[in-house]
Amino acid sequence: MLQSRGNLFQLLDDNRLSADHRAVAGKVAGGERISADEGAWLFQEADLGYLGALANHIREQKHGDRTFFNRNFHIEPTNVCLYTCTFCSYSRLIKERKDGWEYTMDEMMDMVRAYDGHPVTEVHIVGGVLPQYDVAFYSELFRKIKQHRPELHIKALTPVEYHYIFKKAKISYEEGMKQMKEAGLDSMPGGGAEIFHPEIRDQIAGGKCSADQWLRIHEIWHEMGGRSNATMLYGHIEKYEHRVDHLERLRQLQDKTGGFQTFIPLKFRNKDNQMSHLPEVSVLEDLRNYAVSRIYLDNFDHIKAYWPMISRDVAQISLAFGVDDIDGTIDDTTRIYSMAGSEEQNPAMTTEELVKLVRQVGRKPIERDTLYNVLNDYTDVVFESDKEFRGYFSLPVANQ
Ligand code: V47
Ligand code: SF4
């Protein structure tokens, strides 16, 4: 363990800490769940060092230094959308549809075939909502992908799409998810959650599936034996109380089903959307949010930092604030974030780069599949470029 990481047990012995600080630290040390009031207090009052010590303790109890990643690629069927979420740079294109893309089945299959021979294990499919992408279309797409590459894990669509396409097909959520599973769906990504509380959801994501509908579709999927992720879009008009409400609803459903694998906080980025006037929150706020999420969601195994959204440097630091997963080696077909203003205009990282990013901060990089089966431990793997590296002292030392 790196010495710079906070130590929870030192905190417990620190007489300068308030009773509130020691009570929450004591709960975390004892593996006890914190309450909604304590969650709100952490967001509002607790300083970053304290939050880091608590969150890192939980992270290391669950995973030690292990840090997970996977090899995946993304397909975004379209960047045009019927809905008008105010944070999304896709929604503006519905009036200028010709400026967007709407891939056909064949084009998407070409994207899948482009990865033939590459060691990817997952395709992540998510994009805008349009009428031509319906139950029949997605069923056929999933079937074709499975025919072509049966072992490729299909992580696809969110309750936003499912609610829309099942309603259009006049079938129940249960029947719809059954059909998706039969067609080849393996798991669900965490998108579309945004902020559940209606005070905020109605303002930023009005018209698309409600919080209850989002949670219900995940619940049905979990009851069918499926696994899924959950996200929270933070750092716009929501208050801390709305974040706590969001985390609480997820924690309650997870108590019921146990089907969530990973929680992914998504930082609001402000380029080219209807909320561009809002400033983005600071890196400190990102770290505080990771840490409180890790502490609050005691029944979630993993907290993921989506590095294309927060930069590689912040992803590294996040590993000391509760995060144990950084999203896979992603190719440049993921455009929702570069359009929304993330630094990563071309979010691609090779396995070697990702492994080194993790090792540089003293953690152990583990390649996983979507369901967290360990595929490769990269802790001690030596790359060709390591062999070429001759050490800092071989650099020119002129003028010394
Ligand atoms: O629901 C849209 C977000 C989500 C912006 O499950 C924005 O492994 C920030 O859920 N600023 C979709 N965020 C992506 C998603 C996801 C990503 C990576 C991994 C996984 C997983 C899931 O993207 C949307 C929305 O919350 N988003 N616009 C924006 N301006
Ligand atoms: Fe459409 Fe999703 Fe963007 Fe909302 S966030 S406008 S549902 S693509």
The pTM of this model reads 0.93
User: Considering the domain boundaries, does residue 96 fall inside one?
Assistant: yes
pLDDT for 64:
97
What confidence tens digit (pLDDT) does each residue in 224-265 have?
A: 999 999 999 999 999 999 999 999 999 999 999 999 999 999
Q: How far is the CA of 79 from the centre of ligand 2 (A)?
A: 9
- Does ligand 1 come within 6 angstroms of the Cβ of 230? no
User: Considering the domain boundaries, does residue 354 fall inside one?
Assistant: yes
- Does ligand 1 come within 6 angstroms of the Cβ of 165? no
pLDDT for 341:
54
What is the number of residues in the chain? 400
pLDDT for 337:
45
Which candidate, 114, 71, 152, 153, places its Cα nearest to that of 354? 71
With a CB cutoff of 8 Å and minimum separation 6, the contacts of 8 are 25, 28, 29, 53, 54, 56, 57
User: Considering the domain boundaries, does residue 43 fall inside one?
Assistant: no
Output phi, psi for 261, to 5 deg: -100, -50
State percent of the chain over pLDDT 70. 90
User: Considering the domain boundaries, does residue 23 fall inside one?
Assistant: no
- Give the nearest ligand 2 atom to 90 CA: 3
- Does ligand 1 come within 6 angstroms of the Cβ of 347? no
13 three-state secondary structure: coil
- Give the nearest ligand 2 atom to 88 CA: 3
pLDDT for 294:
98
Residue nearest to atom 21 of ligand 1 (CA): 189
Print burial letters for 107-140: b (CB count within 10 Å at least 16), e (below 16). ebbebbeebeeeebbbbbbbbbbbeebebebbbe
How many folded domains does the chain comprise?
1
- Does ligand 2 come within 6 angstroms of the Cβ of 88? yes
Partners of residue 56 on adjacent β-strands = none
pLDDT for 244:
98
User: Considering the domain boundaries, does residue 51 fall inside one?
Assistant: no
Residue nearest to atom 3 of ligand 2 (CA): 88
With a CB cutoff of 8 Å and minimum separation 6, the contacts of 372 are 68, 261, 301, 302
Residue nearest to atom 8 of ligand 2 (CA): 128
- Does ligand 1 come within 6 angstroms of the Cβ of 192? yes
Closest ligand, as measured to the CA of 310:
1
- Does ligand 1 come within 6 angstroms of the Cβ of 260? no
Question: What separation in angstroms does the CA of 77 have from each of 107, 152, 153, 212?
Answer: 9, 18, 17, 26
> Per-residue DSSP letters for 145-212?
HHHH-TTSEEEE--HHHHHHHHHHTT--HHHHHHHHHHHT--EE--TT-S--SHHHHHHHSTTS--HH
Closest ligand, as measured to the CA of 274:
1
Whole-number Å distance between alpha carbons of 133 and 50: 47
Pocket test for ligand 1, best of 233, 243, 285 (most atoms within 8 A of CB): 233
- Does ligand 1 come within 6 angstroms of the Cβ of 205? no
What confidence tens digit (pLDDT) does each residue in 275-323 have?
A: 999 999 999 999 999 999 999 999 999 999 998 888 889 999 999 999 9
For 60, the token pair is 């290391």
- Give the nearest ligand 2 atom to 82 CA: 1
Local confidence band at 330 (pLDDT 50, 70, 90 cut-offs)? low
Whole-number Å distance between alpha carbons of 272 and 128: 16
One-letter amino acid of 102: E
Domain that holds residue 111: 66-377
Q: What is the mean pLDDT of the chain?
A: 90
- Give the nearest ligand 1 atom to 270 CA: 30
What confidence tens digit (pLDDT) does each residue in 336-369 have?
A: 444 555 555 555 788 888 999 999 999 999 999 9
Residue nearest to atom 4 of ligand 2 (CA): 85
Pocket test for ligand 1, best of 75, 84, 86, 88 (most atoms within 8 A of CB): 88
- Does ligand 2 come within 6 angstroms of the Cβ of 90? yes
Give the mean pLDDT of 92-105: 83
User: Considering the domain boundaries, does residue 244 fall inside one?
Assistant: yes
Positive or negative, the CA dihedral 312, 318, 367, 302 is negative
Positive or negative, the CA dihedral 231, 293, 237, 316 is negative
* CATH number of the domain bearing residue 250: 3.20.20.70
Pocket test for ligand 2, best of 74, 201, 208, 335 (most atoms within 8 A of CB): 208
- Does ligand 1 come within 6 angstroms of the Cβ of 188? no
User: Considering the domain boundaries, does residue 24 fall inside one?
Assistant: no
Local confidence band at 19 (pLDDT 50, 70, 90 cut-offs)? confident
User: Considering the domain boundaries, does residue 384 fall inside one?
Assistant: no
Name the maximum alpha-carbon separation found in the chain: 77
Q: How far is the CA of 223 from the centre of ligand 2 (A)?
A: 26
